[in-house]
């Protein structure tokens, strides 16, 4: 779990640094800050909550519903 949160906080900190730099000193902010802010905003638009969930495999003794003849 730490391997997931540490990079997330680090990248979030870099993004906030770029946002604050653009807001506080827009004349000194450069292309890198703009790219970081735009990239972070673009990533927020991705529907990551729609990711596929791995389904557990059925046991071998359970018949397939499509194979049952009525």
Does residue 9 form part of some domain?
A: no
pLDDT tens for each residue of 35-63: 998 988 877 777 666 666 677 676 666 56
What does pTM read for this prediction? 0.57
Q: What is the DSSP string of 32-68?
A: HHHHHHHHHHHHHTS-GGG---PPPPPPTTSPPGGG-
Q: Are 20 and 42 in contact (CB under 8 A)?
A: no
Is residue 68 left, alpha or beta, with left meaning phi > 0 and alpha meaning psi from -120 to 50? beta
Residue in the block written with tokens 């653009």: 22
Does residue 11 form part of some domain?
A: no
Does residue 35 form part of some domain?
A: yes
pLDDT band of 26, cuts 50, 70, 90: confident
Does residue 36 form part of some domain?
A: yes
Number of domains in the chain: 1
What is the reported pLDDT for 24?
93
In terms of residue numbers, what domain contains 23?
A: 17-44
Does residue 51 form part of some domain?
A: no
């Amino acid at each position: 779990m730490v391997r997931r949160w540490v990079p997330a906080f680090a990248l979030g900190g870099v993004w906030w640094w770029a946002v604050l730099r653009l807001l506080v000193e827009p004349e000194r902010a450069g292309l890198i800050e703009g790219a970081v802010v735009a990239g972070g905003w673009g990533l927020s638009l991705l529907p990551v909550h729609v990711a596929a969930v791995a389904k557990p495999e059925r046991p071998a003794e359970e018949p397939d519903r499509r194979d049952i003849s009525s």
